[in-house]
Amino acid sequence: MEPLLKINSETCIACYACVRACPVKAIRVQTEKVKPEIIPERCIGCGSCVAVCGPGAIEVRNSLDDLRKILGRGKKVAALVDPSIAGEFPDITDYRKFVQMLRMLGFQYINEVAFGVDLVAKAYKDLFKKSKGKYYIMSNDPVTVSFVEKYKPALVPNLAPIIPPVAATAKVIRKIAGEDVILVHISPLIASKDEIRRFEGDSRIDLAITFVELRELFSEANIHETDLEYSDFDAPLGFKGSFFPVANGIIQAAGIEEELHLTPVITVEGNGMIDAIREFEEDIGTIKHHFNLFYKEFLMGRGTSAGGRRILRHSQLIKYVNKRIKTLDKDAWEASMTEFESLNLNRTFRADDQSLPVPSESKLNKILKEIDQLNPSDIGCGACGYASCTDFATAIAQGLAIPEMCNIYASRNRQDHIQSLKISNEKLAQAQDALKRSERLAQKEKEAAREASEIVRRMLHKLPSMVVICDMNLKIIQTNDSFIEMLGEDAKEINEVVPGLAGADLKTLLPYNFYNLFTYVLAQNESITNRDIHHEGKILNVSVFVIEKEKIVGAVIRDMSAPEVEKEEVVKRLTEVIDKNLSLAQQIGFILGEGTSEAERMLNSIIESYNLRQDLKDR
């Protein structure tokens, strides 16, 4: 499932306000990402990060699409409404109009969670009477429960084993409307979206939406109180459970003594919740009280509209409760309490320890030295979001923070960076000048190379010998007019369309015994010189040489029947014969026989050349 909270990296400006606000450091910053990210398994759903994020980059999982699908199925759907609606909707003058607005959305049952509070309050009163020296942390606030399970797992046995009011209300509604009814919790807390996943059986709740989402739904459906008649909540109605949105409201609903010298319960709400749990862990043997804890009063929960005024919402709630109590049928309420008193309100908890390994002292000292904090015992400026420099160094070692989050470190690095940037700019300017000079030189060399290439190309075409250069696939890269002339009319026509036969396949232009010389040279990286080849009645002297190993080869081909070649070749070959015979004459035995054989081969070659020329002349 999509996480409850996530940070939109495109909107985030990396101000780290969320890191500073998170009470459990469930937001980490990594060097490779720079922008923070929420760690779902460490998050307790308090929403403090949402409240402080100026750009609005922290997104809460939206449940409206799921609700639209539920309401569109045509099945029985019940709304379980938290009593804090009175503080959230002061613009709706009568709560009965609010109920009718919910019915217009498609809810068949509209039930206030206040009756579930009454049931749970009674269960707490009974639990405290029977506690026998064991002290409990009340488990009505999902944020408090999540904190204990994840960060104080040793206290899990001290969580009161009683389901929260919304789960108790779910049991009541299923008993009235049947097991197939779909239940939607309308809550002032974003944490409720994850809390409901813990309830099973007749206490299960299918979906939770916030008051903010409900307002959006009213606007989308164009529903306004001025157009509607009155409609009341469905029975059973709650009594003092309507005080639940205030931190000590459930204590009053339970009728537990609140006089300071008599009460068995200490109530704490706000950021003091975490400190209270630490004191419970360390000093409960001395304190000897049950704890009623809320990270934030439900009236001001993160699922309510931003900018709400606490005192105003509190006064609106009191007015609402007074009105409800005056019109409540007390007998009917007592009958309902009796009817549902047998419901099983027990629950269990699971430890989910999220504590991280404590780094060694040497590692901490190394990090403190890196961030230039010589007095780690000092409280520190707090800009990084951690209480002290040592805590910050610990977070770095645990992979939750980066040194750049420290203002002093970042400032020093910034100055170093500015100086480094200045030096770099100077070097860059020098490099740019050098680059411009290099570009001018390279341009001149390029022009010279182009001119040289053109000269070579022209010379190549002027050579009487045939020249061809090809690649590893025997595709022609360059050739000259003499080679094209040798290939015949077809090659000349192709040359008119594709100058120099560039890209032509040598295997389609020459016979196997001819192009196989090129294949051999490519494969063996070994040149072939002065190889005579018969081609279309001519004797061609072929030399194939390596230009680039296994990639490019070239060949020079001479027509042995050409007059200028014939005379040169006769002189050359006779000279070779004379030199060889003089050398061989000095040898004995089998070497003499070998020399005679070589002379015979060369003389026969000369005779063959002359005969071929004579035949050509005769023809």
Interval 318-330: pLDDT, tens: 988 888 888 899 9
| Residues in a beta bridge with 38 | 27
Residue 123 lies in a domain: yes
From 129, 136, 427, select the one nearest 277 (Cα to Cα).
136
Final residue of a domain: which of 321, 339, 357?
339
Final residue of a domain: which of 10, 33, 61?
61
- Euclidean distance between CA atoms 598 and 609, whole angstroms: 17
Residue 357 lies in a domain: no
Same domain? For 94 and 148 the reply is yes
Interval 496-521: pLDDT, tens: 888 888 888 888 888 888 888 899 99
Same domain? For 199 and 282 the reply is yes
- Euclidean distance between CA atoms 86 and 319, whole angstroms: 9
Query: Residue 33 CA to chain centroid, in angstroms?
Result: 9
Same domain? For 241 and 291 the reply is yes
| Residues in a beta bridge with 467 | 556
**Range from 9-18, 188-197, 378-387 that averages highest in pLDDT:** 188-197
Strand order in the sheet with 466-471: 476-479, 466-471, 552-559, 538-548, 528-535
Residue 374 lies in a domain: no
Specify the pLDDT at position 347. Answer: 95
- If you average pLDDT over residues 149-157, what whole number do you get? 96
- If you average pLDDT over residues 387-399, what whole number do you get? 83
Domain that holds residue 167: 62-339
Average pLDDT for the chain: 85
Higher local confidence (pLDDT), 202 or 591 = 202
Residue 613 pLDDT greater than 70, yes or no: no
Residue type present at position 613: R
Same domain? For 182 and 154 the reply is yes
Q: Which two tokens stand for residue 322?
A: 């007074």
- If you average pLDDT over residues 158-172, what whole number do you get? 97
Q: What is the DSSP letter of 472?
A: T
Final residue of a domain: which of 339, 373, 397?
339
From 514, 532, 513, 527, select the one nearest 602 (Cα to Cα).
532
Interval 448-460: pLDDT, tens: 877 776 776 777 7
Residue 345 lies in a domain: no
Count of residues in the chain: 619
Angle at 36 between CA 31 and CA 42, to 5 degrees: 110
Residue 594 pLDDT greater than 70, yes or no: no
Residue matched to tokens 């804090």: 84
Residue 427 pLDDT greater than 70, yes or no: yes
Residue 5 pLDDT greater than 90, yes or no: yes
Interval 212-263: pLDDT, tens: 999 999 999 999 888 888 888 999 999 999 999 999 999 999 999 888 888 9
- % the chain with pLDDT above 90: 44
Q: Are strands 476-479 and 265-269 parallel, antiparallel or unpaired?
A: unpaired
Contact 407, 381 (CB under 8 A): yes
Q: Which two tokens stand for residue 554?
A: 């070239």
Q: How many CB atoms lie within 10 A of CB 303?
A: 26
Residue 131 pLDDT greater than 60, yes or no: yes
Residue 489 lies in a domain: yes
Using left for φ > 0, alpha for ψ between -120 and 50, and beta otherwise, residue 536 falls in left
From 14, 29, 33, select the one nearest 392 (Cα to Cα).
29
Same domain? For 478 and 516 the reply is yes
Specify the pLDDT at position 261. Answer: 84
Residue 152 lies in a domain: yes
Residue 510 lies in a domain: yes
Q: Give residue 588's pLDDT band: very low, low, confident or very high (50, 70, 90).
A: very low
Same domain? For 57 and 68 the reply is no
Contact 52, 18 (CB under 8 A): yes
Domain count across the chain? 4
From 53, 62, 42, 44, select the one nearest 14 (Cα to Cα).
53
**CATH code of the domain containing 477:** 3.30.450.20
User: Could you tell me the end-to-end alpha-carbon distance of the chain, in angstroms, rounded to an integer?
Assistant: 94
Interval 19-57: pLDDT, tens: 889 999 999 988 777 789 999 999 999 999 999 998 999
Same domain? For 148 and 43 the reply is no
Q: Give residue 591's pLDDT band: very low, low, confident or very high (50, 70, 90).
A: very low
Residue 174 pLDDT greater than 80, yes or no: yes
Same domain? For 210 and 305 the reply is yes
Contact 2, 34 (CB under 8 A): no
Higher local confidence (pLDDT), 589 or 558 = 558
Same domain? For 611 and 484 the reply is no
Question: Which residues, at least 6 apart from 457, have a Cβ–Cβ distance to it below 8 Å?
Answer: 478
Same domain? For 169 and 53 the reply is no
Q: Is 214 helix (H, G, I), strand (E, B) or coil?
A: helix
Same domain? For 173 and 192 the reply is yes
Same domain? For 127 and 100 the reply is yes
Residue 429 pLDDT greater than 60, yes or no: yes
Specify the pLDDT at position 568. Answer: 58
Residue 604 pLDDT greater than 70, yes or no: no
Residue 112 lies in a domain: yes
In angstroms, what CA-CA distances link 264 with 119, 121, 123, 127, 509?
19, 14, 15, 12, 106
Question: Which residues, at least 6 apart from 534, have a Cβ–Cβ distance to it below 8 Å?
Answer: 540
